[in-house]
Amino acid sequence: MKKRILGLLAGASMLMPLSAFAAPVEITLWHMEQPPHRVARIQEIIDAFNTAHPDIVVKQEPQNWGEVYAKAPAALSAGAGPDMLFAIPDFTPILKNIGALTSVADFVAELDKKHDFVDSTVQSYSYDGGVWAVPLYNMAMSLWYRKSVLDGAGLKVPETWADWKAAAEKLSVDGTYGIGVPANKQLYTDQTIYSVMVNGGATEIYNEDGTLRFNNPQTVAALDYYAQLQKLSPPDSTSWTWGEAEACFVSKSCGMIMQFSVISSYDTQGGGDPADLGVAPIPHADGEKDHNTIAYANAVMLLSKDEAKRKASEEFIRYLLEPETYGKFLNMEPGLFMPVTADGAKAESFWGDPMATKYKAQIEQIIANSQNGRLFGFTSGRTFPSIAAISAQNVIAETLQSIVVGGKSAADAVAGGQDRMVEVSK
Amino acid sequence: MQKSRSLAFAFVAPALLVLAAILGWPLVSAVLLSLQDVRTIGSQGQWVGFTNYSTVISNPMFWTSVGMSIVWVVANAALQTVLALMAALTLNQNFPGVKIARTWIILTWIVPTVVVVIIWRWLFSTSGGMINPLMMQTGIVSRPVGFFSTPWTAMATLIFINSWRWFPFIALMMLAGLTRIPADLYEAARIDGANGWKRFTRITWPLLAPTLGVLTVVGTLLSFNVFDIIWLLTAGGPAGGTRTLPVMIYETAFKGYKLSEAATISVLATMLLMAFALVATRWLAKEGDSR
């Protein structure tokens, strides 16, 4: 009898798939969504995924945008890199150049068939015959203001640069700054300057042949105008990043700011009255007609060379883009992260979030603003590798600093900026 | 005798070898890297001889950074010495609570850099910070001051914050030096009618000088290499106004993707520091001999 039972057990164990005994595949996700509420939301999604997929264990390791450009190549070189890493378009050429990326064209095609990606978000990662990351969410810069503040000053929402400057001047009273624009040598400043540049006809920084065309009259006019706005901003805006601008707005020290979203901080620290929170497209130059802005299609790169880990990473991304999950992921920062898929844009999980419901009007406006989104270096359907160095060294912001801190004229600064772009591209 | 010396050497040799490897290998790696044209970590480079050295030396930004590093080191040394001396002299007195003060003075030094940065960034902020309203209410300024808005104010503010952080550590070193001065010297001077200033200039200062000399050398080397506070508060800005050599090395390596060029700057900076350390230690030894 004993022998029989043992025999049965042995037979049964042979029938069980080997995977039942295999350790789960562990994959690591690096992302740069550091605020605690975003980390918590990502963890919720990871926990749900891990529960539904016992053979895979995903863990997150939040990083910081300021360091990841240096840290990721070093970690990958040391064999300690992540299996998945969030990216913005100019980050991918760096990792591609050190051989860390393989094309995800087939995987993106599979996802596109199912979810229908917004074309421009895939284009930002499509160059040199491959697709180097999977788009995850879009971000677009907007102008934020308080309706009561504008109404109190008898102002309308600015449409043109002239309106905008006049409004900023009128709002600069009693220790309040009419506008808060950054002038730090940092990514946020690159973003706000480019948002002004694209509204003044200075969209392209490259010619078709890859040579630079940053030094042109439209760029000079845009930077000159931006420097005038900066004079109406707090004096420490030369050291601002995103957080300081948001703090200035929610504390009512700044009348207007340019930001991807202020909804979360406004809701918790700025009064939280949705009827008073205004969001508008970035004003355009007086001769222009359309409102444009900077838009970032954020994506995820698959870095693992191990087949099992790569497949597990793909499974996690499939899960993330499912409409039931996707809205929850996007709403880790309501109003900041816009969908990149057609079914995601309609997802109940996106619009059903209490914050999305409360600030629905603002979110719809951001989505509308993002329709005319551009990104420097990724505007013409061609991508030139030097954009990675230009972006990493914040040359656009550095050019502005040479005006507002160095006292140069806009024309000299822009000429110097182009020289610097050439230098860093070598 | 010869045998026991060889045996002693055999015992310490493994430790010396490990020490040499730990200290020497990074330096050798940096020198080797500086002779190549590696751009990013993990990529391969070609041997280019001394090309990077001529590129760096002919770059005006390098010399500006050297100048900024000198300003940074000298200003920090001066401010920290003054603050530390005042603190050490105070803590060398007997007053109620002196033991608590001696313990808690190191608080600024033990607080993590990131916390220091957050505190001071907030205090100096023009949107909700405390310092600007205080300065305006007391009539020192009529408009908020952007402490990090110009190269000069940013550098001065950084020096202040760094000195605030480090002076207690130096004060404790000085306090150790002060406690070694025999009390009967002060007693004798007092009987001879020497006032406080004379006791300081004739007893305290000369007997504290060796400690100050050592602290100057160590402090200079430490100050020169400070990167975290500068990077976190200004990232070398505005307009490169606080770009000291360590900041330039980081920018070149990890923002400019010119790893070999950054290694070259590191090697040159190391040579500068070694030259300083050599001159300073010789001078200290000479001073010690003359006493």
Report, as an integer, the average pLDDT of A181-190: 93
Q: Are A401 and B145 a contacting pair at CB < 8 A?
A: no
Cα–Cα distance, A332 to B165 (Å, whole number): 37
Min mean pLDDT across B52-61, B114-123, B215-224, B242-251 is at B215-224
Higher pLDDT, A187 or B291: A187
Q: Which amino acid type is present at position A200?
A: G
- Which residue out of B59, B126, B228, B242 would a mutagenesis test of the A interface target, given it has the greatest number of A Cβ atoms within 10 Å? B126
CB A204 within 8 A of CB A380: yes
Residue in B with minimal Cα distance to A98: B43
| Burial bucket for residue B88 (CB in 10 Å: 0-12, 13-18, 19+) | buried
Report, as an integer, the average pLDDT of A207-224: 94
- Which residue out of A94, A239, A262, A422 would a mutagenesis test of the B interface target, given it has the greatest number of B Cβ atoms within 10 Å? A239
What interhelical angle do A105-115 and A307-321 show, nearest 10?
A: 20
Residues A264-276 have pLDDT tens digits of: 899 988 888 999 9
- Summary mean pLDDT of chain A: 90
Q: State residue A103's pLDDT score.
A: 94
**pLDDT confidence tier of residue B291, bands split at 50, 70 and 90:** low
Min mean pLDDT across A349-353, A380-384, B72-76, B261-265 is at A380-384
What interhelical angle do B259-290 and B2-34 show, nearest 10?
A: 140
- pLDDT at position B263 over 60: yes
Domains and CATH numbers, chain B: 59-290 (1.10.3720.10)
Angle at B253 between CA A397 and CA A244, to 5 degrees: 35
First to last CA, chain A: 80
- Which residue out of B127, B227, B243 would a mutagenesis test of the A interface target, given it has the greatest number of A Cβ atoms within 10 Å? B127
Q: State residue A6's pLDDT score.
A: 53
Distance from CA of A73 to the nearest CA of B (A): 6
Cα–Cα distance, B125 to A236 (Å, whole number): 7
- pLDDT at position A288 over 80: yes
Distance from CA of A51 to the nearest CA of B (A): 36
Residues B177-228 have pLDDT tens digits of: 998 899 899 899 999 888 888 998 999 988 988 888 888 888 888 899 999 9
Report, as an integer, the average pLDDT of B230-251: 92
Cα–Cα distance, A236 to A226 (Å, whole number): 16
Partner A contacted by B254 (CB < 8 A): yes
- Backbone phi, psi, residue B50, to 5°: -100, 20
Partner A contacted by B145 (CB < 8 A): yes
- Summary mean pLDDT of chain B: 90
Partner A contacted by B154 (CB < 8 A): yes
Q: State residue B107's pLDDT score.
A: 85
Contacts of A180 in chain B (CB under 8 A): 127
Q: Which amino acid type is present at position A380?
A: S
Partner A contacted by B213 (CB < 8 A): no
Report, as an integer, the average pLDDT of B125-136: 87
CB A212 within 8 A of CB A218: no
Cα–Cα distance, A318 to B6 (Å, whole number): 68
Q: State residue A19's pLDDT score.
A: 46
**pLDDT confidence tier of residue A18, bands split at 50, 70 and 90:** very low
Residues A241-263 have pLDDT tens digits of: 898 999 999 999 999 999 999 99
A161 in the Ramachandran plot: left (φ > 0), alpha (ψ -120 to 50) or beta? alpha
Show the DSSP H helices in A19-62 as ranges: 36-52
Q: State residue A85's pLDDT score.
A: 97
Q: Are B251 and A389 a contacting pair at CB < 8 A?
A: no
Q: Tokens 């801190």 map to which residue? A: A405
- pLDDT at position A20 over 60: no
Q: Which candidate from A183, A393, A402 shows the least CB-CB separation from B256?
A: A393
B97 in the Ramachandran plot: left (φ > 0), alpha (ψ -120 to 50) or beta? left
- pLDDT at position A108 over 90: yes
Q: Which helix (H) or strand (E) holds A56?
A: strand A56-62
Ranges of beta strands (E only) in A147-292 are: 177-180, 254-259, 277-280
Q: State residue A234's pLDDT score.
A: 93
**pLDDT confidence tier of residue A151, bands split at 50, 70 and 90:** very high
Domains and CATH numbers, chain A: 22-138+296-370 (3.40.190.10), 140-294+378-425 (3.40.190.10)
- pLDDT at position A13 over 70: no
Contacts of A254 in chain B (CB under 8 A): 127
Name all contacts of A48-52 with Cβ < 8 Å and 24+ positions apart. A48/A325, A49/A316, A49/A319, A52/A319
Residue length of chain A = 426
Min mean pLDDT across A206-220, A378-392, B99-113 is at A378-392
Q: What is the largest CA-CA distance in chain B?
A: 78
A265 Cβ contact list (under 8 Å, min separation 6): A246, A247, A249, A250
